[in-house]
Amino acid sequence: MSIPSFSSKTLGYGSLAVLALSFEFFGGCTPTPSVFSDDANGYPPHASVEKNNSRWIWDGNIPGALEYNLDAFASVTSDSTGSAYKAPHQSSADHYVQFNVASISNATGPFVACRLADRNNFVGVRVGNNGGDGVLELYRRVSGSLTSLHVEGAGTVALNDKVRLECVGTNWEVFLNGVSLASGAIGDASLTSPDTGLVARVVTSNPWIDDFETGVVR
Ligand SMILES: [Ca+2]
């Protein structure tokens, strides 16, 4: 049995448009994935993220600021402003970011970020050493200025723990291994970006994090 073929000549463009709409209505088109993840595995040593994975959207500020190394992510710039790497667009400002902790002893600095408009505007979580190992810190950054939103002290976070930050409406909530640690108000109405991602900055942390994931909070 032969399969009928259609062309614009036999159907006309109006018919094709109807066909396309029907196809989409019945789920024939693949929607944009609601979850994006990157396990950072399988790259050469010190592979810059922007040159090795086109799914990340780099801001062009500092080449090689974020690397794949040792099957994890490494932040490798001393610049305090830093460079942003956005995950694919999340389509909603109500979203989460999560990651596994790959170091608790590097100085805190680089951020895993929600509401990531750009490297100077986001809500970000970071872990590492700040007066002790295993500190967790939450900040908002607006026009480059960092404001502390929350701190969990030394010993809070252990190697390979899973940290998650959710931003929903005007609030944030941070989780450790699936358990809520704290929540509060973002406190700045300008932070409404539907983008998420990573901001490498201020210190070298190698490795830094692993198994990044982001998606919409439903
Ligand atoms: Ca990995």
Predicted local distance difference test score (pLDDT) of residue 20:
40
Please write the tens of the pLDDT for every residue from 161-190: 999 999 999 999 999 999 999 999 999 999
Q: Is residue 87 part of a domain?
A: yes
Split at pLDDT 50, 70, 90, the class of 31 is: low
Start-to-end C-alpha separation, the chain: 46
| Residue 206 CA, ligand 1 centroid: distance in Å | 13
| Residue 205 CA, ligand 1 centroid: distance in Å | 15
Strands (E), 131-203: 135-142, 145-152, 162-168, 171-176, 179-185, 197-200
| Residue 177 CA, ligand 1 centroid: distance in Å | 17
Segments forming the whole domain that contains residue 121: 33-216
| Residue 210 CA, ligand 1 centroid: distance in Å | 5
Mean pLDDT of 66-93: 97
Specify the pTM: 0.85
Q: Is residue 25 part of a domain?
A: no
Question: Is residue 203 a contact partner of residue 105, using CB atoms and an 8 Å limit?
Answer: no
Total domains present in the chain: 1
Question: What CATH number does the domain containing 99 carry?
Answer: 2.60.120.560
CA pair distance 218, 200, nearest whole angstrom: 28
Report whether pLDDT(110) > 60. yes
Predicted local distance difference test score (pLDDT) of residue 15:
43
